[in-house]
A and B are shown apart, each in its own frame.
Chain A
Amino acid sequence: MTLLAPEQDVTAGSLHTKRLPAWAALATAVVALALSAALVLGTGIGNWVLVVVLGAVLYLIGFWLAANAVEGPRSARNRTWSALIHSACVLAILPLASVTWTLISNGINRLDGNFFLTSMNNIGARDANGGAYHAIVGTLEQVGIAALITIPLGVLGAIYLVEYGRGKLSLAIRFFVDVMTGIPSIVAGLFVLAFWVLIVSPLFNNGQPQYSGFAAALALSVLMLPTIVRSTEEMLRLVPAPLREGAYALGVPKWKTILRIVIPTALPGIVTGIMLSIARAAGETAPVLLVAGGTAAINFNPFENNQSSLSLFVFSQATDSSRFSPDRAWTAALTLVALVLILTIAAKLLARRNRLTR
């Protein structure tokens, strides 16, 4: 007992300690804010942002002092850390809430049927309408094709790395996947421009290089593949070995164990990883601009001629001089976010459907 600090010396009857009343936190906050407001605004050194920041700091100090005086140092440390963690959480959510709010409040102006049903074809600088139909088609086709290419490749690659890969080859693959993760999107775009648009596409087009949505899908694939491989690999590694052994012990072949035991167990995590990579790809602008070229008209064919995409549409509208284009850009951004959100929710629901309910 004597080895413990006095505060930890639990002797009989000392289990009950004094607690700060529930209103203490609120009171401290009010006092801290008032003090900081008086200080900042009184001396005129800043605006309300500084008031809040200084107030938060004063609050932490004041609360620690109060808790220290009433409840003792251990409890005070505990309360200060909780307060710090809560403020970190608020700090992390604030930008997100702010982005959402900005998107919705600005995007609402053009959130009409016309926006979703028309393209920018023949829309001049003085025209108020015009929409993103062509861009939505482009995004869906490009991301869809990229997903069709990368999901099977990525998941199979991850299975190889986790279940079969031994030795130098798998080390090399893992290394290159890691390197690929760091490729800037513009480089992926340049790669596809040099390889597909300039060298391969002329073979199908009488020797003329041509932009296409498919080329954009290829560039997006380069970006998505490493993310999918890595996240799927992590998820597969989390499946406990005893589950695999349980299946082997029943005489189930390895490939069937992977297909019927390992993948279903890891499925929700794998889906999350895939959706993250799709969300990232849907927001890429540079590669689409480089290899799909962008267009104002609707083009359903991803294999021929220019296509646009939502992010490209946002970019072109935001840099346009027409006074109607900022509203279109905002609404397109809102549409993009909503699209990714809907896709993610749908994928999660699908992955969950097979899960048993307790």
Chain B
Amino acid sequence: MAKRVEATNVNAYYGSFKAIEDVNIVVEPKTVTALIGPSGCGKSTFLRSINRMHEVLPNARVEGTLTLDQENIYDKHVDVTAVRRLIGMVFQRPNPFPTMSIFDNVVAGLKLNGVNKKAVLQEAAEKSLRSANLWDEVKDRLDKPGAGLSGGQQQRLCIARTIAVEPQVVLMDEPCSALDPISTLAIEDLIFKLKDRFTIIIVTHNMQQAARVSDRTAFFSIERTGDPGRLIEYDDTQKIFSNPSVKKTEDYITGRFG
């Protein structure tokens, strides 16, 4: 199920602007890795280069190697859609498809990739919604529009949608930043549960959240605005939050910077 992600000398550009430089990182299967760092340091950019979403933007490109179990996803012969099927993504703002019902939203990935058997879809929908802790709340209104749910429910719907296609890796970009503490807690529980099946990489601005949910933490930073972001320190979460080896990391997590 879960696969190992390895980035070697990854640079990402927006046109001529270099947003991240020389990122080297290894993410083990079935772990949760948190990406933290000040705003604009390239966390989202790095996350989006892991499933090749970065190149969706005009003029954006990525250099370096990113492997998924030894296979370079930036290889010329790799099909982008296959990469994205293996590496799912949850966005900062919930983005359910407005023309679809809750049910259709959850199985959108399957349906649009050619799965049409009613029974299969039904089963996948229930399983994903249960995994996303949303089943009990929506089981009586599966045919109602997904956009009619609350923000927290929508975000869990998007998580259900992502895990319904059974990816190997799940990327989350500040999935809780628009949510209340209770929904946040629900999603953190969920991340903990999902760890058994997926490799998870999560961007967060919430230090407690990083400390609570992650096994490993990567700290990104920039020198000055306009400089590319770099990976400053990458270690066990325990270590980063108790005894970081770089002064800059310590300054950041204790709130003296950023």
A-side residues, CB < 8 A to B, are 166, 240, 242-253, 256-257, 260-261, 264-265, 267, 354-356, 358
Partner of B162, one of A242, A249, A265, A355: A249
> A166 contacts which chain B residues (CB < 8 A)?
58
Per CB-CB distance, the 7 closest pairs between chain A and chain B, nearest first, are: A251-B85, A250-B109, A249-B89, A356-B145, A251-B84, A242-B95, A264-B99
- A313–B113 CA distance with the chains assembled, in angstroms: 52
- A191–B129 CA distance with the chains assembled, in angstroms: 60
When the two chains form their complex, are residues B84 and A250 in contact, meaning their CB atoms are under 8 A apart?
yes
> A248 contacts which chain B residues (CB < 8 A)?
53, 56, 84
Partner of A252, one of B81, B98, B99, B100: B81
> A246 contacts which chain B residues (CB < 8 A)?
91, 95-97, 158, 161
Do A358 and B148 contact each other (CB < 8 Å), given the known contacts A249-B84, A265-B98? yes
When the two chains form their complex, are residues A250 and B91 in contact, meaning their CB atoms are under 8 A apart?
no
B182 in the interface, Cβ–Cβ < 8 Å? Answer: no
Do A249 and B51 contact each other (CB < 8 Å), given the known contacts A166-B58, A242-B91, A358-B145? yes
Q: Offer 13 A-B interface pairs, CB within 8 angstroms, sorted by A.
A: A242-B95, A250-B85, A250-B108, A250-B109, A250-B113, A251-B82, A251-B86, A252-B108, A253-B81, A261-B97, A261-B99, A356-B145, A358-B148
When the two chains form their complex, are residues B145 and A265 in contact, meaning their CB atoms are under 8 A apart?
no
> B89 contacts which chain A residues (CB < 8 A)?
245, 249
How many B residues touch the partner, as a band?
20 to 34
Do A243 and B81 contact each other (CB < 8 Å), given the known contacts A249-B162, A250-B108, A358-B145? no
When the two chains form their complex, are residues B99 and A265 in contact, meaning their CB atoms are under 8 A apart?
yes
> B56 contacts which chain A residues (CB < 8 A)?
244-245, 248
Most buried by A among B85, B101, B112: B112
Residue-wise interface mask of B (76-114) relative to A, using a CB-CB cutoff of 8 A (1 in contact, 0 not): 000001111110110101011111110000001100110
Mostly helix, strand, loop or mixed at chain B's interface?
A: mixed
B239 in the interface, Cβ–Cβ < 8 Å? Answer: no
- A166–B57 CA distance with the chains assembled, in angstroms: 12
In the assembled complex, the CB of A118 is this many whole angstroms from the nearest CB of chain B, namely: 46
When the two chains form their complex, are residues A250 and B99 in contact, meaning their CB atoms are under 8 A apart?
no
Partner of A242, one of B84, B93, B100, B108: B93
> B84 contacts which chain A residues (CB < 8 A)?
248-251
In the assembled complex, the CB of A259 is this many whole angstroms from the nearest CB of chain B, namely: 9
B139 in the interface, Cβ–Cβ < 8 Å? Answer: no
> A264 contacts which chain B residues (CB < 8 A)?
99
When the two chains form their complex, are residues B144 and A358 in contact, meaning their CB atoms are under 8 A apart?
yes
Do A249 and B53 contact each other (CB < 8 Å), given the known contacts A358-B144, A358-B145? yes
When the two chains form their complex, are residues A356 and B165 in contact, meaning their CB atoms are under 8 A apart?
no
> B161 contacts which chain A residues (CB < 8 A)?
246, 250
Given contacts A249-B89, A354-B99, 16 further A-B contacts (CB under 8 A): A243-B95, A243-B97, A245-B56, A245-B89, A246-B97, A246-B158, A249-B53, A249-B91, A250-B162, A250-B165, A251-B82, A251-B85, A251-B113, A264-B99, A265-B97, A358-B148
Residue of B nearest to A267 (CB): B99
When the two chains form their complex, are residues B112 and A245 in contact, meaning their CB atoms are under 8 A apart?
no
- A244–B89 CA distance with the chains assembled, in angstroms: 13
In the assembled complex, the CB of B17 is this many whole angstroms from the nearest CB of chain A, namely: 19
In the assembled complex, the CB of A81 is this many whole angstroms from the nearest CB of chain B, namely: 35
- A243–B99 CA distance with the chains assembled, in angstroms: 11
> A243 contacts which chain B residues (CB < 8 A)?
95, 97-98
